[in-house]
Amino acid sequence: MEFTSIFYSSSFSIYSIIIVTITILAFRFFVQYSKTKYKKNYQNLPPGPSPIPILGNLHLMKLPVHRTLYKLSQKYGPVFSLRFGSRFVTVVTSSSVVEKCFTKRDVVLANRPKFLAGKHVGYNYANIVNAPYGDYWRNLRRISALEIFSTTRINKFQSIRKDEVHQLLKKLSRDSLRGGSAAAKVELRPLLTELTFNDILRMVSGKRFHGGDDGGEASTFWELMAEVMDASQTSNPVDFLPILKWINYSGYEKKLIRLGQRTDKFLQNLIEEHRRKVEENDSQSKNTMIDHLLSLQESQPEYYTDQMIKGLVLVLFVAGTDTSAVTLEWAMAELLNRPDILKKARAELDGEIGNTRLIDESDLPKLRYLQSIIFETLRLYPVTPLLLPHTPSEDCMIGGYDVPRDTIVFVNAWAIHRDPTLWDDPTRFDPERFVNGPEDLAQKILTFGLGRRACPGSGLAHRTLGLTLGSLIQCFDWERVCEKEIDMSEVIPPAFVRHLNERIPKDVILEDNAGRQWHCRLEEAEGGQLAITNGWKSFAIQQSLETGDFLTFKFNNTNSLFTVNIFGRNGCIKEGKSDVIRVKKEKETEEEHTSGIPDPAREKKYSEIVLRRTNKSGKRKTRKNGAYAVPKNPYFVTTIGSKYFVYVSGYVVKLNSIELNTDMTLHDEKGKKWPVKVAWGKDDRVNISKGWVDFYNDHNLNLVISKSASSLICV
């Protein structure tokens, strides 16, 4: 036995030495090969920071990446190079260089680098975004330009866009009426996402999922698209370090394969559904993009394959939903910070259209100031700060430097849009620059790309943005929820952060500077925010939180600290309620830490309900944001309380510590009783589903429900 142990020990040592030796030799060969390849053949590579072994310059990439690359450009110049693992990268932050690259060298730079997401989710690089430049891509581009994004096709779906905007206006009108004579606080982000999502979905398939029909199918489809958007808009270390693929790092490739299979199944079912409706001569399945492409498939099946149709549909969903919604949110946030601009835009609408009808798409060309607001929003807040990467099909020159074939080329649109040599006072939101400046100034906006690979859907996007923003300005008076300006700094959704940083621990102890501790479970909640789904109640009591307050968490991965800001019902930060809390990993435990809360067994699940919407079956309904930067904006953030108001014939019941789906009896001082059940109602609002009619008739009063320390319901 001892001999065997010694044998295995010795073997392990020898084996380890062999592995280390091979690794060192391989690394030295790799370094020597790189020097030979990039120094001997390319004497004039762009400057850049020195790479470290294996990682290259990946360790320098801090979020937001476009700001990190901008800082590097300040040191190394407008064209510089990096190493991302085994891949050579060139970053361009000069408008003049970009213009030359995508005019004279347009064909050379018309290729895309290959990432795993494009292989497994993008139909093996066969969609219009990821396909290599050539005859197949040119055919896809022709189909997109003529059959999807032509003026004729866009005009055909004008009624859909108009109807979705009217749906938005109706919802906002109902919200504003509930506020009575006072202004009503609204959350625009989910409403804008719903609008843009349904715009695309109805044009493509004739369905209205999000916020509309087919609840189960809608939930499945939205969750699937959220995963696809997340996979499409982020990269993974596996894309730059091939060795990680061999060891199945974090199961990334397997996850992509499963996601691709699920996506393909859903899209194929969508196509088959339209085929059946055509065979049944169903009049409801007419004039959608899928129907149009299927009709073309009958005459040219070699071009219009099912895979090609599915690829086009997938790109429409990924590129056409969150992008427009986020741009609209940035625009509204800036208008709330600049009432003078908002007033001028309203005056233009009143002068050109009047108050007898709503704005229409045909009005957009004459609304120059409104268009300038949109251009200025796209300039300051491009939804893709780094344009989709290009890769040269042969060796070329960029900005006077040698750039080898297959280099990943990034264009930092965010930096170019804030270049002081190109724009006066570049960080100021000033639509006047497009009104009084040169007519071609808008052409310097890079949001939709340049050259042959530019986005063909820019015309559709401008119509959606113009009609929606114009309608919001025309129909409602807007103001901030507090005097303090909205914080316009960027927030990267946690779903994106976790691809580049360490995963946030789930079971943790939150400890403040006074030594107080809260045992909590941290999870991603609706909208990509971080939620405390266990232990939040004692935390709320210690911090003197009230119904309607909400918290924002900013995680600093370098020192494992959360910065917690607490906002009041009015959306203003509560002075003195900002703290830094340390995070400690905790083992799984069943213990409930709810000190100060009566009857913890009864309220065991309420913490999850407050920070997460739940449908009637008890299943959580979560939604991820895409990997786009959004304003750090309390005006649009869901509060703890406001989504859980009980609407009783126009009156509001606020829930503090009542578990939903709970039977209870309301008592008055005279002993009269009203049995009620608190449950989920329409549109995910809380509702008193029985007994409320009698209670309302007997009292006809505003009602506030809370729970006292004696476990009694106080009305």
Q: What pLDDT, on the 0 to 100 scale, is given for residue 559?
A: 44
Give which of 339, 536, 307 is closest to 429, Cα–Cα.
Answer: 339
Tokens of 562: 């959360």
Q: What pLDDT, on the 0 to 100 scale, is given for residue 516?
A: 61
Mean pLDDT in residue range 186-206? 87
Tokens of 515: 């030594």
What share of residues in the chain are helix, strand, coil (percent, to 5)?
45, 15, 40
Cite the DSSP H helix spans in 125-251. Answer: 135-143, 151-156, 158-178, 188-205, 215-233, 242-246
Of the listed ranges 147-151, 178-182, 481-485, the least confidently predicted one is 178-182
Each residue's pLDDT tens digit, 286-334: 678 999 999 989 988 888 999 999 999 999 988 887 789 889 999 999 9
- Output the CA angle 695-696-701, nearest 5 degrees: 115
* pLDDT at 62 exceeding the cut of 50: yes
Residues 6+ apart with CB under 8 A from 331: 373, 374, 377, 465, 469
Which of the listed residues 475, 509, 527 is the one where a domain comes to its end? Answer: 475
Residues 6+ apart with CB under 8 A from 84: 56, 57, 58, 240, 408
Of the listed ranges 30-39, 388-397, 513-522, the least confidently predicted one is 30-39
5 lies in some domain = no
Pseudo-torsion of CA 30, 59, 527, 251, nearest 10°?
A: 40
Cβ atoms of 341 and 431 within 8 Å: the answer is yes
Could you give the CA distance from residue 479 to residue 496 in angstroms, rounded to a whole number? Answer: 31
Shared-domain flag, residues 294 and 231: yes
358 lies in some domain = yes
What are the C-alpha distances in Å from 231 to residues 218, 238, 455, 622? Answer: 20, 13, 19, 17
What is the tally of structural domains in the chain?
3
Q: What pLDDT, on the 0 to 100 scale, is given for residue 450?
A: 86
Cite the DSSP H helix spans in 84-134. Answer: 95-101, 116-120
336 lies in some domain = yes
Tokens of 164: 């979705």
Give which of 596, 621, 619 is closest to 711, Cα–Cα.
Answer: 596
Tokens of 683: 């549109």
Q: What pLDDT, on the 0 to 100 scale, is given for residue 151?
A: 92
**pLDDT category of residue 711 using cuts at 50, 70 and 90:** very low
Of the listed ranges 7-21, 175-189, 612-626, the least confidently predicted one is 612-626
Q: What is the CATH number of the domain that holds 223?
A: 1.10.630.10
Q: What pLDDT, on the 0 to 100 scale, is given for residue 439?
A: 80
Q: What pLDDT, on the 0 to 100 scale, is given for residue 509?
A: 59
CB atoms within 10 A of CB 559: 8
Tokens of 404: 């080898």
Each residue's pLDDT tens digit, 142-155: 999 988 999 999 99
Of the listed ranges 383-392, 423-432, 438-447, the least confidently predicted one is 438-447
Q: What pLDDT, on the 0 to 100 scale, is given for residue 387?
A: 93
Most confident of 78-82, 583-587, 642-646: 78-82
400 lies in some domain = yes
429 lies in some domain = yes
Give which of 325, 319, 380, 363 is closest to 471, Cα–Cα.
Answer: 363
Residue numbers in the known binding site are 455
Each residue's pLDDT tens digit, 680-697: 444 444 455 456 556 555
One-letter identity of residue 451: G
Please confirm whether the linkage preceding 64 is cis (ω < 30° from 0): yes
Shared-domain flag, residues 302 and 400: yes
Could you give the CA distance from residue 109 to residue 126 in angstroms, rounded to a whole number? Answer: 18
DSSP 144: I
| Max CA pair span of the chain | 96
Of the listed ranges 253-257, 458-462, 472-476, 572-576, the least confidently predicted one is 572-576
Mean pLDDT in residue range 458-473? 95
Percent of the chain with pLDDT over 90: 37
* pLDDT at 58 exceeding the cut of 70: yes
Each residue's pLDDT tens digit, 666-682: 555 555 666 666 554 44
One-letter identity of residue 623: R
Which of the listed residues 636, 669, 692 is the one where a domain comes to its end? Answer: 636
| Range(s) of the domain holding residue 673 | 645-714
For helices 306-320 and 135-143, give the axis angle rounded to 10 degrees: 60
608 lies in some domain = yes
How much is the pTM? 0.69
Q: What pLDDT, on the 0 to 100 scale, is given for residue 437?
A: 84
Mean pLDDT in residue range 91-109? 90
Shared-domain flag, residues 511 and 470: no
Buried b (16+ CB within 10 A) or exposed e, 282-303: eeebeebbbbbbbeebeeeeee
Of the listed ranges 392-406, 437-451, 513-527, 650-664, the least confidently predicted one is 650-664
Shared-domain flag, residues 629 and 655: no
Shared-domain flag, residues 197 and 289: yes
Answer with the residue of higher pLDDT: 256 or 1: 256
Give which of 155, 146, 137, 266 is closest to 203, Cα–Cα.
Answer: 155
* pLDDT at 424 exceeding the cut of 70: yes
Answer with the residue of higher pLDDT: 507 or 335: 335
Shared-domain flag, residues 649 and 631: no
Q: What pLDDT, on the 0 to 100 scale, is given for residue 341?
A: 97
Mean pLDDT in residue range 591-605? 28
Q: What pLDDT, on the 0 to 100 scale, is given for residue 526?
A: 41
The total number of residues shown for the chain amounts to 715
DSSP 390: B
Shared-domain flag, residues 409 and 555: no
Answer with the residue of higher pLDDT: 506 or 709: 506
Of the listed ranges 42-46, 197-201, 440-444, 549-553, the least confidently predicted one is 549-553
* pLDDT at 141 exceeding the cut of 60: yes
Each residue's pLDDT tens digit, 497-507: 333 233 344 55
Q: What pLDDT, on the 0 to 100 scale, is given for residue 46?
A: 96
Q: What pLDDT, on the 0 to 100 scale, is given for residue 485?
A: 83
Could you give the CA distance from residue 190 to residue 161 in angstroms, rounded to a whole number? Answer: 17
* pLDDT at 650 exceeding the cut of 50: no
Mean pLDDT in residue range 624-631? 37
Shared-domain flag, residues 371 and 226: yes
Answer with the residue of higher pLDDT: 639 or 436: 436
Shared-domain flag, residues 607 and 663: no
Most confident of 138-152, 416-430, 576-590: 416-430
Residue numbers in the known binding site for heme are 455
**pLDDT category of residue 651 using cuts at 50, 70 and 90:** very low
Shared-domain flag, residues 355 and 380: yes
**Sole residue written with tokens 């990509």:** 528
677 lies in some domain = yes
Tokens of 235: 């990269």
Which of the listed residues 423, 446, 475 is the one where a domain comes to its end? Answer: 475
Mean pLDDT of the chain: 71
* pLDDT at 533 exceeding the cut of 60: no
What is the chain's alpha carbon radius of gyration, rounded to the nearest angstrom? 28
Shared-domain flag, residues 595 and 706: no
Answer with the residue of higher pLDDT: 517 or 469: 469
Could you tell me which residues are beta bridge partners of residue 402? 397
Shared-domain flag, residues 426 and 501: no
One-letter identity of residue 212: G
222 lies in some domain = yes
Give which of 52, 611, 500, 562 is closest to 234, Cα–Cα.
Answer: 500
Answer with the residue of higher pLDDT: 595 or 238: 238
* pLDDT at 353 exceeding the cut of 60: yes
DSSP 541: H
